[in-house]
Amino acid sequence: MNYTSLIELIPIFNILIAVFFGIGIVSLLFLGIRIGYFKKALKKWIKESRRISNDPTLDKIIKIYCKYNENGCEKINTSAIIQGNYYKQKILFIPIYYWEQFIPKSEILCLFFGLITSFILVSAQRDNPFYPLIFGTGSFIILVILETMLSIELRKKYIFAQIEEYLDNTYKYSIQRAIISPGYFDNEKIDVFDTKEKKNEETEINDEEIEWVIKQFYEGEKEV
């Protein structure tokens, strides 16, 4: 089999290994920064007990959740709200779910092009046929180690669980208390009852005064 035409593609394959390695590194960097900022914004929002947050994505999640509660929705799919708004984000005009896919795909492609390039060199009986395999395997291992150290997927799931737990078990009741305040209505009722009692007391006093005047009038006539 003639490998001459395939050998001409080896520099391109080596460049592709470097390109996919770079894409994997950039994806890990962008997603790591985004998750870190998202976590920081969540902690600050919970700590300060604000109605909204400084993070635009978290702010959208909170506003949609508030809207459903204010409209009286009994069953709210909090997880869907969180994931739906999170995956609407874009980094450099590319949706965030594409960046998440770049990482595993880059790992596989680095290893694939390293293997196929070494296979072509071995088949063509060229010198140093394993350097592309070493390059591709090294890139693959580095990406896997960085992905494991950053644990982006696990951190993301943990943050989603934190948001869902806080919204459903804490924030929900603060919204409900803000919508309907029992103390307000109780005070209003008390004020109404107090007003009625005061009016009744005033009426009773006026009746007693009238009776006293009538008695004085009759006693005066008897004396005459």
- Give yes or no: residues 171 and 203 share one domain: no
Written as six digits, the tokens of 213 are: 């005047």
SS (H, E, C) 121-147: HHHCCCCCCCHHHHHHHHHHHHHHHHH
**Predicted confidence (pLDDT) per residue in 69-94, tens digit:** 888 777 889 999 999 999 999 999 99
Task: Please report which confidence band the pLDDT of residue 223 belongs to, taking 50, 70 and 90 as the band edges.
Answer: very low
Task: Please report which confidence band the pLDDT of residue 30 belongs to, taking 50, 70 and 90 as the band edges.
Answer: very high
Q: Return the number of other C-beta atoms located less than 10 Å from residue 119's C-beta.
A: 15
User: Of 148, 164, 180, at which residue does a domain stop?
Assistant: 180
- Give yes or no: residues 38 and 76 share one domain: yes
- Give yes or no: residues 86 and 148 share one domain: yes
Residue 149 has pLDDT above 70, yes or no: yes
Q: How many domains does the chain have?
A: 2
User: Of 161, 180, 199, at which residue does a domain stop?
Assistant: 180
Are 49 and 29 contacting, i.e. CB atoms less than 8 angstroms apart?
no
d(CA 126, CA 132): 12
- Give yes or no: residues 114 and 21 share one domain: yes
Q: What is the pLDDT of residue 179?
A: 60
Q: What is the pLDDT of residue 178?
A: 65
- Give yes or no: residues 112 and 210 share one domain: no
Task: Please report which confidence band the pLDDT of residue 204 belongs to, taking 50, 70 and 90 as the band edges.
Answer: very low
Could you tell me the sign of the dihedral formed by the alpha carbons of 106, 107, 110, 113, in that order?
negative
Could you tell me the sign of the dihedral formed by the alpha carbons of 116, 117, 118, 119, in that order?
positive
- Give yes or no: residues 63 and 141 share one domain: yes
d(CA 146, CA 27): 11
0.75 exceeded by pTM:
no
Q: Which domain holds residue 11?
A: 4-180
The CA distances from residue 164 to 137, 160, 167, in Å, are 40, 6, 5
**Predicted confidence (pLDDT) per residue in 155-197, tens digit:** 999 999 999 998 888 888 777 666 655 443 444 443 444 454 4
Contacts 24+ apart (CB under 8 A), 32-38: 32/150, 32/152, 34/89, 34/91, 34/96, 35/152, 35/155, 35/156, 35/159, 38/159
- Give yes or no: residues 118 and 89 share one domain: yes
- Give yes or no: residues 79 and 165 share one domain: yes
List beta partners, residue 90.
95
- Give yes or no: residues 173 and 194 share one domain: no
- Give yes or no: residues 111 and 146 share one domain: yes
- Give yes or no: residues 160 and 206 share one domain: no
- Give yes or no: residues 47 and 124 share one domain: yes
Q: What is the pLDDT of residue 163?
A: 92
